[in-house]
A = this chain, B = another copy of it.
């Protein structure tokens, strides 16, 4: 698999995650920031490699083999992110782009040793689970913050958006992975919410922000 193929397959995997059976050409183009015409071409190639099932005009469905390969790339991406944050003192908003390159280095030994060196981490700096070498991820149920009800409580365990802009914003307002939160108020009009962080700090946030924060109930 080339770097481009790995990136496409990973995008298709992520687009399929919400349990969607099929992913459209336009969806992939959006995720990859390429044109639909380029996507059609790539889908044909990935179809021939049998990592996806591709029916012209009807979108694409990732195969078990494809899922396995995508999870390997994701594993590598997240392990490198842990390395950058834990060992090289990168901030959590600085790691995504570099990991996007590092994930394509081809060396099973490297990843095995890196995993050991990092002490077999289970989550990356954004709270996302790291698949094991067989592609198994232990997924605990998580809620999206903007869908929680008043008085519900929980802990921030992950973010959906790993862009520097979003993560810097969270840093600024004091939201972080592990923070204990409680829903204080919700505004029907715009969907914005008010939460209590660590039993001491009130925090208002827009629906857009809350929709990118994942909560686990304790």
Is residue A102 within 8 Å, beta carbon to beta carbon, of the partner chain?
yes
Q: Are A105 and B107 in contact (CB under 8 A)?
A: no
The CA-CA distance from A113 to B117 in the complex, in Å, is 17
> What copy number does this chain have within its complex?
2
Is B90 a contact partner of A113 (Cβ separation < 8 A)? Answer: yes
Contacts of A88 in B (CB 8 A): 110, 113-114, 117
CB distance from A3 to the nearest CB of B (A): 10
Partner of A101, one of B94, B105, B114: B105
Interface size class of A (residues with CB under 8 A): 10 to 19
Min CB distance A161 to B, Å, is 21
Q: Which residues of B contact A90 (CB under 8 A)?
A: 109, 113
Q: Is A150 an interface residue (CB 8 A)?
A: no
Q: A-side binding surface: helix, strand, loop or mixed?
A: helix
- Nearest B residue to A94 via CB reads B109
User: Measured between alpha carbons, how far is A87 from B83 in the docked complex, in Å?
Assistant: 12
Bound CA–CA A110/B87 (angstroms): 11
Shortest CB distance A176–B (Å): 22
Q: Mark A166-192, 1 if CB is under 8 A from B, else 0.
A: 000000000000000000000000000
Closest 6 CB pairs of A and B: A88-B113, A98-B107, A101-B105, A98-B110, A88-B117, A87-B117
Chosen A-B contacts, 19 in total, with CB atoms closer than 8 Å, are A84-B110, A87-B117, A88-B110, A88-B113, A88-B114, A88-B117, A89-B113, A90-B109, A90-B113, A94-B109, A97-B107, A98-B105, A98-B107, A98-B110, A101-B105, A101-B106, A101-B107, A102-B102, A102-B105
